[in-house]
Amino acid sequence: MLTVWRNFIKGSEEIMAEIFNCMDMPLLMETDILVVGGGSAGCLAAMSAGQQGENSVLLIERYGFLGGSSTQMLDTFYGFFTPGDSPRKVVAGLPGQVVDVLDGTGDIFLRANTYGAGTGVNYNPERLKLVWDQLLQQAGVKVALHTSLVGVEKMEQEGILCVVWHKSGFYKIKASRVIDASGDADFCHLAGYAYEKAGEVAAAQSMTTTFRMSNVDLDQFERAGGKNMLKEKMGLAVEQGRHPLPRKEGSAHAMCQVGCISTVAVKVGHLDPLNVFEMSQAEEEGRRQAFILEKFFQDDVPGYERASIIGLSHQIGVRETRRVYGEARLDKEGCMSGRAVNDSIFLCGAPIEDHRQGANGEDETYWQYIPGGGVYGVSYQTTVPQGSEQVWVAGRCFSATHEAHASCRSMAQTMAMGQATGLAAVLSLQYGESARDLDVKRLQEGLVDRGAILELPEKPADISREGWGKSID
Ligand SMILES: Cc1cc2nc3c(=O)[nH]c(=O)nc-3n(C[C@H](O)[C@H](O)[C@H](O)COP(=O)(O)OP(=O)(O)OC[C@H]3O[C@@H](n4cnc5c(N)ncnc54)[C@H](O)[C@@H]3O)c2cc1C
């Protein structure tokens, strides 16, 4: 029998599990590997597992498209390159192949940065939706869109019985292995694994509705002072009470589409994304702030006079909710050590980037860099929920403290985590090993064979605008 750690007495999840037990639900599918959530971690986990061709792989996603935050609200992969004067490319393998495909159709450019989270890979998020579809098809993954995990009925050695909901009704799915890549650790929550809820120990990061504007004259914007001018204008707008902006700084950057920009400037704190009405309030507040920002851009920022919002993010961006307690936990000391651990499955060189809610907008993002432009390695055991034999967690709900999470949540890292957990699930089935007792050396060799980087490359990367292909090691 599996060891399941209950961290509640009798919550609605247990009551639901009992109700589901009594219901006569059809079996949607029996699968070797079930991936819950089609974000950057889940897509990569499914791709990685599917590509081995040994097992059936099913991915369920509650929305009608894949990519999670990567396509719901964002347009820049961070974490591929380290920040600093001598940037290194620290993530490759399958995550790199996703970017290669986008590069092939002219749908990326590098946004060189020696500060912040380092150089970003800007991509066309609409194209990325198509790319995720194609890559998963090629990997032989069965995809169930508009399908949400709502219950975990039984956790037994011979199979985990999950309950999903689709408009046509409730169904069961039986899986030998499960990768929870739901971002919110929904599977782990429903199965009773232990986790920390953001905000319980340290203040949770704020939420952000992103938006895109078209008809921006970027040349005029740059001639007027670009990024520095924008920061100055935002500060003045707040100080002079011209526009009630949520914060004094924020990112407004060019997209792949000509004349379009994407912003990360809305800030919604002190609301719980796991509470029905607070999350509804957050969505409303995010939209309200977005249109305040639109007016500010039109009135105050050269180049934006004739620009307007053409799209809000599909939902407000949620940075953290549940963070599972794993067999190991990444903490701030681990990040700042700048060292790889023996069982590292990927590298991260991104600083701690903690978006906190300031009372008057003056308390902005808190940054702390890894000393010496270094990188740290992330332990395999941070992807294994405590006591787990058949379950992994990948992506932003992996086992990390609040601060460590604020460093290790960029999409290059969540994709790398996906690649590692997907392969781990396959190896676990192949060799009959449990998640926590998996032969990690074999996993590491498999990852390196498939292009993953587990040691800091000596050669600095080319981070020029067109430098993606040139910075392949
Ligand atoms: C506002 C904001 C800005 C950010 N900026 C950047 C940036 O510029 N660059 C960068 O690299 N990173 C950025 N990040 C961080 C990064 O986007 C995330 O940490 C990362 O994308 C998380 O990936 P994930 O796959 O773990 O989760 P997600 O992308 O959240 O994917 C989870 C998926 O699971 C699905 N799902 C959830 N519950 C269920 C369920 N019960 N059943 C079925 N499906 C379910 C969701 O619909 C979603 O598709 C930002 C995050 C936010 C919120």
42 occurs within a structural domain: yes
Are 95 and 416 a contacting pair, CB within 8 Å?
Answer: yes
Structural domain span for residue 259: 211-312
**C-alpha to C-alpha distances, 111 to 256, 376, 396, 472, nearest whole angstrom:** 11, 23, 23, 17
pLDDT for res 5: 40
pLDDT score for 7: 44
pLDDT (0 to 100) of residue 424: 98
In a domain, 229, yes or no: yes
User: So what's the pLDDT on residue 10?
Assistant: 58
> Is 264 near ligand 1, meaning CB less than 6 Å away?
yes
Q: Which residue from 34, 71, 74 has its CB within 8 A of the most atoms of ligand 1, so it is best to mutate? A: 74
Distance from Cα 241 to the centre of ligand 1, integer Å? 34
Q: Is the CB of 63 under 6 A from ligand 1?
A: yes
Do the domain assignments include residue 392? yes
What pLDDT score does 157 carry?
86
Residue 249: per-residue pLDDT: 85
Closest CA to 45 of 431, 425, 308: 425
**Dihedral (CA of 217, 222, 224, 226) sign:** positive
**Domain boundary, last residue among 312, 330, 365:** 312
Residues 264 and 328 in one domain: no
| CB of 143 sitting under 6 A from ligand 1 | no
Q: Which atom from ligand 1 is nearest to the alpha carbon of 66? A: 49
Kindly state whether residue 206 falls inside one of the protein's structural domains.
Answer: no
Assess whether the C-beta atom of 95 lies below 6 angstroms from ligand 1.
Answer: no
Residues 188, 125 within the same domain: yes
- What is the Å distance from ligand 1's center to 466 Cα? 27
Which candidate, 216, 292, 284, places its Cα nearest to that of 255?
216
Task: Give me the long-range contacts of 7-15 (CB less than 8 A, separation at least 24).
Answer: 7/192, 7/193, 7/194, 7/195, 8/192, 13/151, 13/152, 13/189, 13/190, 13/192
Same domain for 138 and 240, yes or no, is: no
Cα(239) to ligand 1 centroid in Å equals 33
∠ at Cα 117 (245, 68), nearest 5°?
75
Among the candidates 277, 312, 347, a domain finishes at 312
Q: Determine the atom of ligand 1 nearest the C-alpha atom of 69.
A: 29
Predicted local distance difference test score (pLDDT) of residue 1: 33
Q: Which of 202, 150, 164 is nearest to 25 (CA)?
A: 164
Core vs surface per residue 246-263: b (16+ CB within 10 A) or e: bbbbbbbebbbbeebbbb
The confidence score (pLDDT) of residue 202 equals: 87
User: Do 287 and 189 have their domain in common?
Assistant: no
For residue 453, CA distances in Å to 1, 96, 169, 377, 458 come to 36, 11, 43, 10, 12
CB distance 76 to ligand 1 below 6 Å = yes
Chosen domain end from 293, 312, 331: 312
Output the CA 416–ligand 1 centroid distance in Å: 14
Question: Which pairing describes strands 27-36 and 169-180: parallel, antiparallel, or unpaired?
Answer: parallel
Structural domain total, the chain: 2
CA 396 to centroid of ligand 1, rounded, Å: 7
407 CA to middle of ligand 1, Å?
15
Regions in the chain scoring below 70 on pLDDT: 1-11, 22, 357-364, 471-473
Rounded-to-10 torsion of CA 378, 331, 206, 252: -50
Inside any domain, residue 246: yes
Q: Does a structural domain hold residue 70?
A: yes
**465 lies in the same domain as 351:** yes
Distance 132 CA to ligand 1 centre (A): 14
What pLDDT does residue 117 have? 87
* Same-domain status, 160 and 86: yes
* 79 within ligand 1 shell (Cβ under 6 A): yes
Shared domain for 39 and 165, answered yes or no, is: yes
Rg (CA), the chain: 22
Based on the fold, state whether residues 11 and 150 are members of the same structural domain: yes
Nearest residue CA, atom 42 of ligand 1?
148
CA–CA gap between residue 444 and residue 381 (Å, rounded): 13
The CATH number of whichever domain residue 67 belongs to comes to 3.50.50.60
CA 68 / ligand 1 centre spacing (Å): 5
| pLDDT for the residue numbered 366 | 84
Do 304 and 331 lie in a common domain? no
Clarify whether residues 344 and 308 are in a common domain.
Answer: no
Which of 364, 128, 98 is closest to 255 using CA atoms? 128
Taking the CA of residue 70 as reference, the ligand 1 atom at the shortest distance is 21
Q: In Å, what is the CA distance from 64 to each residue of 31, 317, 341?
A: 21, 17, 38
* Domain-embedded: residue 290: yes
Residues 372 and 297 in one domain: no
Closest residue by Cα to residue 127 from 183, 182, 67, 213: 67
273 lines ligand 1 (CB under 6 A): no
- Are residues 365 and 412 both part of a single domain? yes
